[in-house]
Amino acid sequence: MLHFGAHYIDGQWIAPQASGARPLIDPTSEEPWATAATGGSAADVDRAVMAARRAFASFSRSSVADRVALIDRIIAAYLRREAHLSQLIAQEVGVPVSFRAQVSGPVGHIKVARDVIASYAFERQLADTIVRREPIGVCALISPWNWPIQTSVIKVIYAVAAGCTMVLKPSDASPASGVALAEVMHEAGVPAGVFNLVIGRGSVVGEALSRHPQVDMVSFTGSTAAGIKVGEAAAQTVKRVCLELGGKSANIVLRDANLQKAAHWNIQRGFSNSGQSCHAPSRMLVHESQVAEVLTHLADEIGRMKLGDPRDPSTTHGPMVHAQQYASVQRHIQIGLDEGAHLVTGGLGRVDGFNRGFFCKPTVFSGVTRDMTLAREEIFGPVLVVMPYQTEDEALEIANDSIFGLGGYVFSEDRKKGYEFACGLRAGRISFNGANTNSHTPMGGYKQSGIGRSMGVFGLEEYLQVKSIYGFEDEAQGLPGI
């Protein structure tokens, strides 16, 4: 049985200070497939942070050309392991190998980061002042289990692009993915101490990283509740915090929209990754006169899903990540039934025909009002609520009636009206008629969905500090970087 028992610190694999191991459970079979160290300690975190601090002195002064060359080596090392990574996350967290975006997507993000720094003006002239953007320092990168490779890659590659050093803490539910990424970085020849990995629980490793006085910035992706704890801990040493947190995104389907297209897309986007996505369109707002028709289209689309072993290329949807997440989704379904929502399809229990594995039934509720738990809490599973509206103003009001503001979606045949609705949504990323997002543009949330942005130029600048140097008006054009 495989064992993931070491941290990667200062260019070496290091045993944790505390001994012990725990099983990693395959969410499809519910059987152990590997073991992992029971977790890092504050002492392990300190060792990793100080390695990153030492490496920062030289890496922060590396040239853009050197960092571009390093990123190209990371791309090459990643591509050599791409097939392995796909199989790994299928076994570790239940992501189907057919869901290519999980593993192929990171390469695109890496290339964008490389191209951004190749043309980015790290120094600019403003009157008699040179405005410099410099690497912020040592970064703590805390990533989730639902996109275990891609989220980690985005954090790591923008830190590298900026000239920062880092300590990555993968989710305790997906430590093997973090180890695999460390192997990529080692193979690419990332200088010792620039990238470090500490595996362990968020309550120990994440807490220690967030509080550490030698950490200059924390980038965290996860639940809003956990993000609040990260922010509180980081505030003790007044460090920068970038948070991508929960979501309860609304898909507003206007009366002139193509209902079949809207329903097809809502299931495809909302139930991909088994609904375990913070951007999932989990509230579908439909005019009251069109609800019945939309429900038919939704049921038809769910009928095309194929649930099964995520290692089977024909599988479209896998299990929940672990027993706790399965139980959480079941609890929310029961709450929906108790509060009087109408069950359209799906419901409690395992998918028919499955006697093991954390497979939830793809579930749709109608008759959901904005005060119901289903409409307010992030479920993080294959559960969609259909909410009726009478007027377009009411639709916008319902969509914005949430503590979250991560994503939003609008379907309409009227582009002008669609744009007006997109502008009115209090969320950080809006898609019109199912348009794809891209890795050049910023991602982040309003309200309790987070602070800061990732990806592209805006993502790079999360890892940079701004400095003004006065008195160089005449000489500026001859200085490096200007």
- Does 124 lie in the same domain as 46? yes
477: confidence class by pLDDT, cuts 50, 70, 90: low
Cα separation, 83 vs 280, in Å, equals: 26
Can you tell me the mean pLDDT for 9-24? 93
Check: CB of residue 234 under 8 Å from CB of residue 211. yes
- Does 379 lie in the same domain as 323? yes
How distant, in Å, are the alpha carbons of 42, 94, 345 from that of 200? 10, 20, 38
Check: CB of residue 310 under 8 Å from CB of residue 410. no
- Per-residue pLDDT at 471 exceeds 60: yes
- Does 258 lie in the same domain as 281? yes
pLDDT at residue 40, as a whole number? 85
- Label residues 70-102 b or e (16+ Cβ within 10 Å = b): bbeebbebbeebeeebbebbbbbbbbbbbbeeb
pLDDT at residue 39, as a whole number? 74
pLDDT at residue 399, as a whole number? 98
Q: What angle do CA 456, 457, 462 make, to 5 degrees?
A: 100
pLDDT at residue 113, as a whole number? 98
Beta pairing, strands 281-287 & 383-389: parallel
pLDDT tens digits for 408-463?
Answer: 999 999 999 999 999 999 999 999 999 999 999 999 999 999 999 999 999 999 99
- Per-residue pLDDT at 475 exceeds 70: no
Residue positions counted in the chain:
482
pLDDT tens digits for 106-159?
Answer: 999 999 999 999 999 999 999 999 999 999 999 999 999 999 999 999 999 999
**Does residue 480 form part of some domain?**
no
**Does residue 479 form part of some domain?**
no
- Does 271 lie in the same domain as 218? no
Cα separation, 49 vs 313, in Å, equals: 40
**Does residue 478 form part of some domain?**
no
Task: Report helix, strand or coil for 436.
Answer: coil
Q: Report the share of the chain in percent with pLDDT over 70.
A: 98
- Does 269 lie in the same domain as 123? no
* The total number of structural domains that make up the chain: 2
139 is known as an active-site residue:
no
**Does residue 444 form part of some domain?**
no
- Per-residue pLDDT at 233 exceeds 80: yes
**Does residue 437 form part of some domain?**
no
Point out the catalytic residue in the list 164, 278, 301, 462. Answer: 278
- Per-residue pLDDT at 247 exceeds 80: yes
- Does 177 lie in the same domain as 97? yes
Structure tokens at 144: 């989730």
8-state DSSP, 361 = P
- Does 461 lie in the same domain as 340? no
Count other C-beta atoms under 10 Å from residue 67's C-beta: 19
How distant, in Å, are the alpha carbons of 371, 399, 439, 461 from that of 387? 11, 10, 31, 38
164: confidence class by pLDDT, cuts 50, 70, 90: very high
- Does 316 lie in the same domain as 229? no
**Does residue 153 form part of some domain?**
yes
Residue entry with tokens 């672990």: 322
Point out the catalytic residue in the list 92, 244, 301, 461. Answer: 244
**Does residue 9 form part of some domain?**
yes
Q: What CATH number is associated with residue 364? A: 3.40.309.10
**Does residue 148 form part of some domain?**
yes
pLDDT at residue 474, as a whole number? 67
293 is known as an active-site residue:
no
pLDDT tens digits for 27-48?
Answer: 999 999 999 998 789 999 999 9
pLDDT at residue 72, as a whole number? 98
Give the residue from 206, 145, 147, 140 showing the smallest Cα distance to 175: 145
Residue entry with tokens 């701004």: 466
Q: What CATH number is associated with residue 62? A: 3.40.605.10
Residue 221 β-bridge partners = 244
- Per-residue pLDDT at 479 exceeds 80: no
Check: CB of residue 302 under 8 Å from CB of residue 393. no
- Per-residue pLDDT at 476 exceeds 60: no
- Does 140 lie in the same domain as 80? yes
Can you tell me the mean pLDDT for 86-100? 97
pLDDT tens digits for 319-366?
Answer: 999 999 999 999 999 999 999 999 999 999 999 999 999 999 999 999
- Does 208 lie in the same domain as 130? yes
Residue 295: domain span: 249-432
Can you tell me the mean pLDDT for 312-318? 97
Check: CB of residue 40 under 8 Å from CB of residue 16. yes
- Does 416 lie in the same domain as 285? yes
Q: Who has greater pLDDT, 59 or 20?
A: 59
473: confidence class by pLDDT, cuts 50, 70, 90: confident
- Per-residue pLDDT at 1 exceeds 90: no
Detail the DSSP E strand segments found in 171-309: 195-197, 217-221, 240-244, 249-253, 281-287
In 27-100, which residue ranges form alpha helices assigned H by DSSP? 42-59, 64-80, 82-93
Structure tokens at 421: 């609705």
pLDDT at residue 274, as a whole number? 97
Structure tokens at 394: 């009411």
Angle between helices 259-270 and 291-302 (to 10 degrees): 50
- Does 288 lie in the same domain as 232? no
20: confidence class by pLDDT, cuts 50, 70, 90: confident
Structure tokens at 443: 């991602």
